[in-house]
Structure 1
Amino acid sequence: MEAVRKRLIHITRCRGITRRSIRRFVRYDPTLQSIYKFSSTEINQFLAIPHKQASLLYSDLRNPSLIKQIIQDISSCRVITLVDEDYPVVLKTIKDAPLVLYAMGNTSLLDKHPLISVIGTRKPSREALSKTEAFVVPLIHSNWVIVSGMASGIDSMAHQQTLKYDGMTIAVLGGGFHHIYPKHNYHLFNQIAEHGLVLSEYPPDTPPKRYHFPERNRIISGLSFGTLVIEATERSGTLITVDQALDQGREVYAVPGNPFLAQTRGCHKMIQEGAKLVQHPMDIMEDWERMESNYKLLS
């Protein structure tokens, strides 16, 4: 098993292959051993990928510098793979589950219940902090794990409130640990790594790219019993996480607000489309009490 996990980590770091192709190959060879014996032409034919990509993959499978970098990364942070016993079971149920997760901090938080993702706009209103305090702090005091994406705005508020009240929080990043985004959250990153847990699907040296953030959102919602939206504009990126949460069969909660504020219109739209309107944290807690036994069977 150790050899398989090392090959999985290696292959996910190679150029020219997607997660989808890796999954397809795993079904063919669960040991992942045979791909190292393929020529670039055989890779091209078997995986049905262009010659250029097949050549990149063939090269990276034999690249000693890449292997050395992986060894260094494994020594600097925890790596959890899909074949590990401590891989979060709830993530195995989602579409395109991450094959590898890099972790810094307390990985036992992944075994806690309940987890809730708290998300929202990067440009919150002046009311946003009081909303976050009103809805999130009671959950913190009730030992809920707060999951978010460490972005500016609502995400940061959720993490900061959790740290302030000695709660449990998980941040899921859109880049590697050596490229914190936004840069002004570097101190927050260190705090979460020390007192909570930071996760990333991307190796430590990977700079964040625009498409990483929608990708990481499926992990934020996938880890959680439900997603709580504090504020969102009508075209907010927050809606991507909401769509993924619904697709994953998770609960979605939205906080209503002043109808004249742009930051609340997204929440009102979600409520119109079926999200649960929350007026008090107890609305969420009561839902969890009703669903706890079924959810724990899943996880």
Structure 2
Amino acid sequence: MNEDFLQRLYALHYVYPKPLNRLKRLMTDDPELIALGKKSSAELAFILQIGQEQAGKLKSAYQEALRIPFRDIYAKHKITPVSYLHPYYPESLMELADPPAVLYAKGRADLLLFPRKLAVIGSRKATPYSRTAMNAILPELIDERFLIVSGLAKGADAMAHETAIKLGGETIAVCGSGFLHPYPKENARLHNIIEEKFLSITEYPPYMQPARWNFPMRNRIISGLSQGVLVTEARPKSGTLSTIEHALDHGKDVFAVPGDIRSPLSEGPHKLILEGAKPVWKGSQITEEYRQLTAEK
């Protein structure tokens, strides 16, 4: 990879942290961003479909950012920037309509290439039933070398990471904020463990704080990284099910844990089962599904 181009890409993403499909608009006639700093505000506004005042501020910020030694700063903070050209960048993310242009990674970035990944997600208000379900299902998955992907949110996400770690498996946390603003605070210790021993990633530069709209965007990466998605507990209208929508859009397998018919948090999984998700209560049901797919190929 051309280091000069990467510096320009990091500078652009730092001041305009948008997905690759948005940044590619600037690369149509300038694939290495060589002429970006020379474009007028009017040109930038037209290409990016933004206001001219915003384009002027973007141009100034970009020119200042070009002087920032990103590689050195990220290395100092143990952050590995994984651009869309990096050998660790997962091919499956390029199947998204809006792939991340850069993933910022802390920990073992090579885990991005782990061949078998399963997303395990659920409600932020998950009950102990989610942990019980994970304790019943994940051991066989870990034994079959599945890596567990989740979003490090409160509730089911944290349970998924903790269960994978407890079972001696691997895990990836996909975060909805930059590394200078870990979220949520309640999971700070778990986040530190994942950064040190496993892998934490985000598409947001380190300075970016958590915001409501970050998390639906984060969900597409959770789905995009994974072969399938397992849902424990969720309400029918929730962020959890937005991840499922991404999964279905990209032909991913969806598994759902049946629950207590009296619990509102069972409504989401039951709705998914009604719509065609596979009901599961033991890990072998998932591993057998992938054995059959492999045999068919």
- TM-score category by the smaller chain? over 0.9
Question: 1:14, 1:70 → 2: CA distance?
Answer: 16
Shift of 1:49: 2.3
The alignment of Structure 1 onto Structure 2 pairs a total of residues equal to 295
List runs of 5+ in structure 1 lacking aligned partners. none
Contact 2:19-2:101 at 8 Å conserved across structures: no
Question: 2:66, 2:97 → 1: CA distance?
Answer: 32
SS in 2 for 1:270: helix
The aligned counterpart of 1:169 is 171
Contact 1:17-1:57 at 8 Å conserved across structures: no
SS in 2 for 1:137: helix
SS in 2 for 1:117: strand
The aligned counterpart of 1:11 is 12
Contact 1:135-1:281 at 8 Å conserved across structures: yes
| Among 81, 86, 107, the residue aligned to 2:109 | 107
The 5 A counterparts of 1:171-186 are 171-186=173-188
Question: 1:65, 1:37 → 2: CA distance?
Answer: 13
Deviations 1:219-254 (A, max 9, x none): 001000000001111222100000001111111110
The aligned counterpart of 1:39 is 40
Residues 137 and 66 from structure 1, CA distance in 2 versus in 1: closer, same or farther, beyond 3 angstroms?
A: farther
Shift of 1:16: 9.2
Shift of 1:18: 6.7
| Among 244, 259, 275, the residue aligned to 1:242 | 244
Contact 1:131-1:230 at 8 Å conserved across structures: yes
Equivalent residue letter for 1:9:
Y
Task: State whether structure 2 residue 257 is matched by structure 1 residue 255.
Answer: yes
Contact 2:105-2:199 at 8 Å conserved across structures: yes
Deviations 1:79-101 (A, max 9, x none): 00012222111111122010000
| Among 120, 123, 126, the residue aligned to 2:122 | 120
Larger mean Cα displacement after TM superposition, 10-19 or 145-154: 10-19
Task: State whether structure 2 residue 273 is matched by structure 1 residue 271.
Answer: yes
List runs of 5+ in structure 2 lacking aligned partners. none
The 5 A counterparts of 1:189-268 are 189-268=191-270
Residues 108 and 70 from structure 1, CA distance in 2 versus in 1: closer, same or farther, beyond 3 angstroms?
A: closer
The aligned counterpart of 1:282 is 284
Q: Provide the identity percentage.
A: 39
Question: 2:16, 2:240 → 1: CA distance?
Answer: 30
Larger mean Cα displacement after TM superposition, 156-165 or 59-68: 59-68
Deviations 1:134-176 (A, max 9, x none): 1122212222100000001110001001111221000000001
Larger mean Cα displacement after TM superposition, 41-50 or 1-10: 41-50
Contact 1:16-1:53 at 8 Å conserved across structures: no
Larger mean Cα displacement after TM superposition, 115-124 or 286-295: 286-295
Equivalent residue letter for 2:274:
Q
Residues 22 and 113 from structure 1, CA distance in 2 versus in 1: closer, same or farther, beyond 3 angstroms?
A: same
Contact 1:150-1:159 at 8 Å conserved across structures: yes
Larger mean Cα displacement after TM superposition, 160-169 or 72-81: 72-81
SS in 2 for 1:28: coil
Equivalent residue letter for 2:289:
D
Residues 264 and 66 from structure 1, CA distance in 2 versus in 1: closer, same or farther, beyond 3 angstroms?
A: farther
Contact 2:257-2:281 at 8 Å conserved across structures: yes
Larger mean Cα displacement after TM superposition, 264-273 or 274-283: 274-283
Residues 20 and 50 from structure 1, CA distance in 2 versus in 1: closer, same or farther, beyond 3 angstroms?
A: farther
RMSD across aligned C-alpha pairs, in angstroms? 2.0
Shift of 1:20: 3.8
